[in-house]
């Protein structure tokens, strides 16, 4: 059943993205007066064909659905057959350089516009997200140095002391605002509420590197969702948790006097205390609210396969129930946020690709159709909002990929047209052929790496 959902979700995702991309080329070509001969979804043997009596365009669905194309009237692609004189003004190669530029750029632009609309739909229809309540930060993290103790609800963010405040509605909203500030290397002020009122916290992001952003910005800064209930969901036989008397349903309130309401922070603390006694404050099921017991526990020391270091384990499964909030925006604000989210993700994708080229980021970040299908299925099972957000993300990736200055892709053709606009001369067919072969080699190499990464994730090697 899961496989069927993944295949259907993948087919819908690829179908929508390809149709939108190619329709961008098609619509601008028609607007520029270029005759479109074929609009094809997929490659290979046609499964369905229909010719429009009005435009003469052949609409095709082909057997291999991983892509599509728009074929336009072009003197260079007739196989030597002459084009009627009255049709020459409608040939693609007869258009001005800027019209050709607009037609080619329209595909990626359509993908970005689709992402804006999809994100706007998510923002406008509303989504349930964790509230922007922070857990007690780890020592010496930027959040701890800023003065956060845990339990504060962040309500606004501004740049410096004189900047304009932006409202923070949810944890996701906070994450995106911090991500943007980290990219811009800014010093910001976070306004947060607790039982004593509203306070300002200075957070300096000028020393944050792109590696910090790539790994996990929020964890690096010391921010984890808080304000919820951290409970024991399971206890392994013979574990430190069982020996200490922990039971399913126990709520963990503090460890060594430090309040805890986040599984990630609690696990990190346990890992750093291998064979070191800890004292847990536990609220038992059936106890009066606020009545706590102290439980002494000694984490078992185990070797971490990833680092080779000894880490602590207590053998308890944890569940976190964090406070959530329904986030909904108005139509205009939704479009604004959709455009901002699309811009941020596009810039991030370009920077990530640039870092992979220079060797500062791993090529393991490249994903192919198997991983896309997997995430398409997972997001579809999570609900419409998750699937639409996934679709927007892939649409942005497709737009960015096609704008890369690699021959064969749209970006390669745009580079030719820019050269032509500057020099007044068309790039010769000989050089275009050389660049096309090089570009094809790049695409094959990238596809091979992405497929290898897919297989590595699938069979865990």
CA distances from 217 to 72, 101, 267 (A): 46, 38, 18
Tell me, what's the pLDDT at 450?
Answer: 67
- Give the E-state strand segments of 205-250 in sequence order: 229-235
Share of the chain above pLDDT 70, in %: 88
Q: Are residues 190 and 237 in the same domain?
A: no
Is 372 within the bounds of a domain?
yes
Given 266, 286, 320, the domain boundary residue is 320
Domain-located, residue 35: no
Averaged pLDDT, 88-104: 91
240-245 mean pLDDT: 91
Asked if 335 and 324 touch (Cβ cutoff 8 Å), the reply is no
Q: Where residue 2 falls among pLDDT bands split at 50, 70, 90?
A: low
Q: Would 16 be classed as within a structural domain? A: no
Q: How confident is the model at residue 339 (pLDDT cuts 50, 70, 90)?
A: very high
How far is it, in rounded angstroms, from Cα 214 to Cα 388? 23
> Any idea what DSSP says for residue 201?
E
Assess whether pLDDT exceeds 60 at residue 190. yes
- The DSSP code for 188 is E
Helices 384-403 and 410-423 sit at what angle, rounded to 10 degrees?
A: 40
Measured CA to CA, the distance from residue 212 to residue 206 in angstroms comes to: 12
Residues 450 and 333 in one domain: yes
Cα four-point dihedral sign 416, 422, 424, 425: negative
Q: Which pLDDT score is estimated for 287?
A: 56
For residue 10, tell me if it sits in a domain. Answer: no
Number of domain units in the chain: 3
Q: Are 39 and 59 in contact (CB under 8 A)?
A: yes
pLDDT of residue 368: 60
Check residues 335 and 376 and name the one with the higher pLDDT: 335
Give the mean model confidence (pLDDT) for residues 358-367.
65
Task: Reply yes or no on whether the pLDDT at 24 is more than 90.
Answer: yes
Average pLDDT, integer, range 331-357: 85
Q: CA-CA distance, 413 to 66, in Å (whole number)?
A: 21
Span 83-110, average pLDDT: 90
Q: Above 90 in pLDDT, residue 208? A: no
The more confident residue out of 191 and 288 is 191
Bigger pLDDT: 373 vs 403: 403
Residues 251 and 314 in one domain: yes
How high does pLDDT run on average in the chain?
A: 84
**Lowest mean pLDDT across 21-35, 291-305, 434-448:** 434-448
**pLDDT at position 29:** 95
| Shared-domain flag, residues 154 and 213 | yes
| Residue 455 maps to a domain | yes
Q: Note whether 262 and 307 are same-domain residues.
A: yes
448 plus 393 within the same structural domain: yes
- 157: confidence class by pLDDT, cuts 50, 70, 90: very high
- Residue 364 confidence class, pLDDT cut points 50, 70, 90: low
Asked if 334 and 459 sit in the same domain, the reply is: yes
Average pLDDT over residues 246-252: 90
User: Does 290 have pLDDT greater than 60?
Assistant: no
Do residue 338 and residue 456 come from a single domain? Answer: yes
Picking from 123-127, 197-201, 354-358, 400-404, which range would have the lowest pLDDT averaged per residue?
Answer: 354-358
Residue ending a domain, choose from 221, 249, 278: 221
Q: Are strands 278-283 and 258-259 parallel, antiparallel or unpaired?
A: unpaired
Cβ atoms 261, 150 nearer than 8 A: yes
Q: What is the mean pLDDT of residues 105-122?
A: 95
Query: Is residue 81 situated within a structural domain?
Result: no
Residues 437 and 311 reside in one and the same domain = no
| 7 found inside a domain | no
- Extended strands (E) in 36-89: 36-51, 58-72
pLDDT value of residue 150: 83
State whether 348 and 408 are in the same domain: yes
Q: Could you give the CA distance from residue 108 to residue 411 in angstroms, rounded to a whole number?
A: 9
Is the same domain home to 187 and 161? Answer: yes
User: The pTM is what?
Assistant: 0.76
The catalytic residue among 22, 129, 152, 224 is: 22
Q: Specify the higher pLDDT residue, 105 or 3.
A: 105
Poorest-confidence range of 123-127, 135-139, 161-165?
A: 161-165
Evaluate if residue 28 carries a pLDDT over 90. Answer: yes
Where a domain ends, among 320, 345, 363?
320
Confirm whether 15 is domain-assigned: no
Please give the pLDDT value at position 367: 66
- Return all residues near 72 (Cβ < 8 A) that are at least 6 apart: 29, 34, 35, 36, 37, 91, 92, 103
Average pLDDT of 376-404?
Answer: 84
Q: Is 22 a catalytic residue?
A: yes
CATH code of the domain in which 288 resides: 2.30.42.10
Detail the DSSP E strand segments found in 218-292.
229-235, 251-255, 258-259, 278-283
Same domain, 347 and 443: yes
Range of the domain at 294: 229-320
- Widest CA span in the chain: 92
**pLDDT at site 428:** 78
């Amino acid at each position: 059943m899961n496989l069927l959902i993944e295949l259907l979700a993948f087919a819908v995702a690829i179908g929508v993205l390809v149709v939108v991309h190619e329709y961008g080329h098609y619509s601008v070509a028609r607007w520029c007066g270029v005759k479109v001969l074929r609009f094809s979804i997929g490659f290979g043997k046609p499964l369905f064909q229909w010719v429009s009596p009005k435009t003469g365009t052949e609409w095709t669905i082909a057997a291999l659905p991983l892509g599509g194309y728009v074929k336009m009237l072009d003197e260079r692609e007739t196989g030597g057959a002459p084009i009627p004189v009255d049709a020459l003004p409608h040939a693609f190669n007869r258009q001005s350089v800027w019209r050709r530029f607009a037609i080619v750029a329209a595909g990626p632009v359509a993908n970005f516009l689709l992402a804006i609309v999809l994100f706007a739909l998510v923002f406008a229809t509303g989504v349930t997200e964790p509230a922007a309540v922070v857990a007690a930060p780890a020592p010496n993290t930027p959040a701890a140095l800023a003065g956060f103790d845990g339990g504060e609800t962040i309500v606004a963010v501004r740049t410096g002391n004189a900047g304009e405040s932006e409202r923070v509605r949810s944890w996701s909203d906070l994450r995106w605002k911090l991500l943007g500030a980290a990219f811009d290397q800014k010093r910001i002020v976070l306004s947060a509420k607790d039982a004593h009122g509203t306070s300002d916290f200075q957070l300096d992001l000028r020393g944050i590197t792109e590696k910090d952003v790539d790994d996990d910005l929020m964890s690096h800064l010391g921010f984890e969702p808080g304000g919820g209930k951290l409970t024991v969901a399971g206890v392994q036989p013979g574990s430190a948790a069982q020996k200490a008397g922990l039971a399913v349903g126990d709520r963990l309130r503090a460890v060594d006097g430090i309040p805890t309401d986040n599984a990630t922070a609690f696990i990190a603390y346990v890992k750093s205390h291998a064979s070191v006694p800890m004292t847990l404050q536990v609220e038992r099921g059936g106890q009066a609210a606020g009545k706590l017991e102290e439980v002494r526990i000694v984490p078992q020391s185990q070797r971490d396969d990833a680092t080779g270091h000894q880490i602590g384990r207590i053998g308890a499964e944890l569940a976190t129930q964090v406070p959530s909030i329904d986030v909904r925006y108005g139509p205009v604000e939704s479009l604004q946020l959709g455009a901002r989210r699309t811009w941020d993700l596009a810039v991030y994708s370009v920077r990530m690709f640039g870092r992979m080229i220079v060797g500062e980021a791993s090529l393991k970040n490249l994903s192919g159709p198997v991983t896309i299908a997997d995430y398409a299925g997972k997001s579809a099972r999570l609900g419409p909002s998750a699937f639409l957000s996934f679709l927007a993300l892939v649409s942005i990736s497709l737009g960015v990929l096609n704008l890369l200055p690699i021959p064969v892709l749209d970006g390669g053709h745009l580079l030719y047209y820019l050269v032509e606009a500057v020099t007044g001369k068309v790039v010769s067919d000989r050089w275009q052929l050389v660049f096309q072969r090089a570009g094809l080699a790049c695409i094959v190499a990238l596809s091979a790496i992405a497929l290898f990464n897919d297989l590595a994730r699938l069979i865990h090697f």
